[in-house]
Chain A
Amino acid sequence: DTEVTQTPKHLVMGMTNKKSLKCEQHMGHRAMYWYKQKAKKPPELMFVYSYEKLSINESVPSRFSPECPNSSLLNLHLHALQPEDSALYLCASSQDRLAEYNEQFFGPGTRLTVL
């Protein structure tokens, strides 16, 4: 199984809403990532979890709150977002954060629209 799954596929929320994005992998990977991607641009790293601990936070605003309940799951909690936060949110996993080739496998993404 080389699949990373993400739910929901699409999400529309108001600026006062609280919602969560979910990501799951069953490849036994110990590193998981959240990226934000705008149209026709490369993904921008937000957070990195390694062995269920947050290891990198790329100065992301506190309205984004990551959580890693176990080695297979990664959540991104959203609260009081702004319209400019509308983007494709991608989850990825890799065997290990410091693996030699650090091949990352991406999920299909959640298309988020903030009204």
Chain B
Amino acid sequence: TQLLEQSPQFLSIQEGENLTVYCNSSSVFSSLQWYRQEPGEGPVLLVTVVTGGEVKKLKRLTFQFGDARKDSSLHITAAQTGDTGLYLCAGANQAGTALIFGKGTTLSVSS
């Protein structure tokens, strides 16, 4: 069974701090996606990482895909209150028929 272990589950930090969220699996994924979701809204796709070792940047967010394509990380530099939300990693199952989600990381950034 393919699983995505996401950590930490909850994170509460001050504005200006840096943080990293991890998404790990014992299975190889052809790609991993990161979503951000605000309360009462749908998840918004932030990035898809495809190639092992790939690094993608989205302003203050840096996404990395592990060399073996079994893990990924999301690093936020100088967090802002607007970064508050639920961060989800997801990957396609082996049949390619559905997404497997990690349990999510609830991030709270206070001023």
Contacts and interface: CB of A to CB of B under 8 A. Distances in A.
Contacts of B35: 106
A98 interface: yes
Among A33, A90, A104, A105, find the residue whose CB has the most chain B CB atoms closer than 10 A.
Answer: A104
A52 B72 CA distance: 33
A103 to B, nearest CB: 6
A109 interface: yes
A42 B103 contact: yes
A51 to B, nearest CB: 13
A92 B103 CA distance: 18
B98 A48 contact: yes
Contacts of A55: 97
Interface stretch (B14-22, B41-49, B59-67, B75-83): B41-49
Nearest to B32: A101
B40 A111 contact: yes
Contacts of B40: 88, 109, 111
B23 to A, nearest CB: 12
Contact of B45 (A43, A100, A103, A108): A103
B92 interface: yes
Given A90-B42, A97-B96, A109-B42, A42 B31 contact: no
A55 B95 CA distance: 13
A103 B48 contact: yes
A45 B92 CA distance: 13
Given A6-B42, A105-B45, 10 more contacts: A40-B86, A43-B88, A45-B99, A48-B98, A56-B97, A92-B42, A98-B96, A100-B31, A106-B35, A109-B40
Instruction: Please list the 5 inter-chain residue pairs (A to B) with the smallest Cβ-Cβ separation, ordered nearest first.
Output: A106-B42, A42-B101, A102-B92, A101-B31, A98-B96
Interface of B: 30-31, 33, 35, 40-45, 48, 50, 86, 88, 90, 92, 96-99, 101-104, 106
